[in-house]
Amino acid sequence: MNGSELIRPTKELVPQIKAFRDEFINSLNWLHGAQGLRYIEDPEEWLEYSKRLENEETVPNGSSPYTQFVYLRKTDMKIVGMLGVRHRPTEPIETWGGHVGYCVCPSERRKGYAKAMLRDVLPYCKSIGLDRILLTAGDENKGSVRTILANGGVLENYVLSPRHQIMVGRYWIET
C-alpha cells in the first residue's frame, strides 16, 4: 500500500509497538499475527521473544519457526498492523491453523491494510520455500475471509477449530 511498508520490528519501534499493544489490550481484541504480544508487556522483551521464535534452534517446544512483521505507515510512523508467518504447517497447523496470521489496529480498519499486508508478505513466503500458504478463517470473520479472497485464496474445506470451537474455512494462496 502506498506509504506503508511491511518490515521486521526493531528496537527503534519500541514506542509504536507499545502504542499498538495498548490499543489492542484496551479494545479487548485478539492479537492474531503478533505472537506473544498479549502476554509480554515490555516491547523490548517481546522483540527478544520474537527473535527466538525465528530460529529452529531457539523456537520453543520444537514448533515451527515464525517470522514477525509489522506494517508501518510511513507518513506518521504508526504501526497499523502486524502479521506473522509460520514456516511449517506442523500439527495442528495443517488442520485448523495456518501459515499466516494478522491483525489491524481497531482504529485503522477498513482502509485496505489487511489486504495490502497479506499481498506484501507473499514474496517473503516464496523466499522461504512456501509455494503456497494456508490461512484459516471462520465465515463470521468477514474481514479476514475477504482479505484472503482478495489475495487469491481458494477454499479447500471446513474443519473444527478446537481452540475456538467453530468451523473454519481452510484457504490456500499461491505465492
**Site of interaction with ligand COA (CB under 6 A):** 29-30, 32-33, 101-104, 109-115, 137, 141-144, 146-147, 150
CB of 40 to ligand COA, least distance (A): 18
Query: Considering beta carbons, is residue 33 or 169 the nearer one to ligand COA?
Result: 33
Query: Considering beta carbons, is residue 63 or 141 the nearer one to ligand COA?
Result: 141
Query: Considering beta carbons, is residue 40 or 150 the nearer one to ligand COA?
Result: 150
Joined together, the cell numbers standing for residue 63 give: 514448533
Query: Considering beta carbons, is residue 11 or 142 the nearer one to ligand COA?
Result: 142
CB of 57 to ligand COA, least distance (A): 27
- Quote the CA–CA distance of 22 and 31 in Å, as a whole number: 11
Question: Which residues touch 135 (CB under 8 Å, ≥6 apart)?
Answer: 98, 99, 100, 144, 148, 153, 170, 171, 172, 173
CB of 38 to ligand COA, least distance (A): 12
CB of 76 to ligand COA, least distance (A): 17
- Quote the CA–CA distance of 166 and 9 in Å, as a whole number: 32
Q: Are strands 4-7 and 100-104 parallel, antiparallel or unpaired?
A: unpaired
Q: Give residue number: closest CB to ligand COA.
A: 143
Query: Considering beta carbons, is residue 55 or 90 the nearer one to ligand COA?
Result: 90
CB of 58 to ligand COA, least distance (A): 24
